[in-house]
Structure 1
Amino acid sequence: LRLFLSFGMIGSGIFVALFGMGYFWEIHAFWFFLVMQMIAGLFQATGWPSVVAVIGNWFGKRKRGLIMGIWNAHTSVGNISGSLLAASVLDYGWGWSFIIPGSFISLGGILVYLFLAAYPEDVGYPCSHDLVGNQETRPQDLEIQSQSIESRTYDVRRVPSATKRGVGLFEAFLIPGVVPFALCLFFSKLVAYTFLYWLPFYLSQTEIGGEYVSVKSAGNLSTLFDVGGIVGGIIAGHLSDKLNARATTAATFIFC
């Protein structure tokens, strides 16, 4: 997972930066920008499954909704910081709006390669799935389970993460709930990214109060949508833990 995620981040950063280099190379061919975007998208696709797997490895089912809600705030934080960063250098040429974020992505990939521990066992901790079954487990039960695991004859550090085998694509489709939740995420992302990419254009091209906002101001204003995403994701995760109703919580927030 560490190598897979690092490879995806560095590759994504390189091709995002190459997209911006088209400005300085004075490239006006549509195919160049299309190919750069497609390849960057392929590399970016490594991110979501990798990081979800890492979170699952570390936290298991303990307060998974709240933990995933807090973790998923990175999407909105990234959108906000990326929009603000791109808008801040727009006056120097639109190419910098891709080169600088791409450089940060590649730097992040290097840091992930150097420091990410994809499994608790990699740093000497017991597997999270052995410690707890659900969020209603009492603290004293957790302590008993932890002591039981520590007293086992095997050493978790002797079970390297490289020996773990993930499920295949077909096996993943057969897991109950995977397809419905995948479709749910698809349509929610469709709406989210419509706002992300279309809203700045709408704000800059639509007369508001008798005036047109600048491209830079439109980019800054569009980040307010993601501010709501941070708060909403954390609240939804907390409610799903309290109610123990993941599907109901997800459906309610989507319809609202």
Structure 2
Amino acid sequence: MSPLPPSLPYRNALIIGAGPGISASLTRRLRAENIPVVIAARNVDKLAALVDETGAIALPVDATQASEVEALFNEADARIGAPEIVIYNASGRVRGPIVELDAAEVGNAIAVSALGAFHAVQQAARRMTSAGKGAILLTGATAGVKGFALSAPFAMGKFALRGLAQSAARELAPKGIHVAHFVIDGGVRADHRPEPADAPDSMLDPDAIAQTYMDVLRQHRSAWAWEIELRPWVEKF
């Protein structure tokens, strides 16, 4: 009989940019370990079913606004205590030829992917530094390593997110805070985006992604990973 995995060394969690994919799978995994979870998004109505299923607390936030992120953390402090796990899953996307993109829309997309992450990391670090422990997990994408045509704003945001993660890991790890960036290198399977019938195993399973996040949270500090890259086993790279 294989031994049970070690319990999580953290007491509670805040997920920003929550939705039906990776965030939902993470919420279920964390709640299964009796970890209180706050899930936050612009539109909390879409989280109602997940709240009913898991007992998580849903709170609204526009992550691009520093004041709203600060208010979210303050409310989380009151509801579950200062978050010891903070996961940033929000992304902004605008597609199109560079010569045709609207600059304001590009700025907003970058703000969602990167500036919002900075706001979250800043608020988390303020709490975790004083506590001497915590974990900050940032969800990246292939675009944070390789920019694709017609997708410059997404690449810009995800490249910035990766830089934030790398810098924060070097600054905060010596203070007992585990910062990790996840390169999700491929499409994530979902009810509204099923796997092609002629390409089995070509998409990532959100439950499998969530399991990797949980494994990273259990890493001993003598061997912390700052970046993990995940892709389907049939992916060519």
> Please, what TM-score do these two structures have when normalized by structure 1?
0.29
More strand by share: 2
More helix by share: 1
Q: Which has the greater radius of gyration?
A: 1
